[in-house]
């Protein structure tokens, strides 16, 4: 999940924003969102029989 999130974040960051700083910030945001949503969904599904 971390590898997946990191790779997708690099691409989204690079093509979604201009300027190295903005790209980094956006990529980091995407990464955190991917991992966060992954954990939330995992916990929700854990309680679903």
Partner 1 sequence: MTEKEERGTLGATLNSLAGWILPGLGHVSQGRLTRGLVLGLVVIVMFVAGVTLGGRLYSLTDTREGLLSNVFAACDLGTGLLYFLSRAAGVATSDQAELATAEYGNVFLMVAGLLNYLLMLDAFDIAVRRKP
Q: Which of 2, 5, 18, 43 binds partner 1 (CB under 8 A)?
A: 18
Q: Can residue 4 be called a binding residue for partner 1 (CB under 8 A)?
A: yes
Contact call for residues 6 and 36 (beta carbons, < 8 A) = no
Instruction: Pick from 2, 15, 37, 41 the residue near partner 1 by CB under 8 A.
Output: 15
**Distance (Å, rounded) from C-alpha 37 to C-alpha 33?**
6
* 15/40 with CB nearer partner 1: 15
35 interacts with partner 1 by CB under 8 A: no
Q: Crossing angle for the helix pair 20-47 and 2-16, nearest 10 degrees?
A: 140
């Amino acid at each position: 999940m971390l590898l997946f999130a990191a790779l997708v974040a690099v691409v989204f960051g690079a093509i979604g924003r201009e300027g190295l700083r903005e790209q980094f910030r956006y990529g980091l945001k995407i990464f955190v969102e991917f991992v966060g949503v992954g954990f939330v969904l995992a916990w929700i599904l854990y309680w679903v029989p």
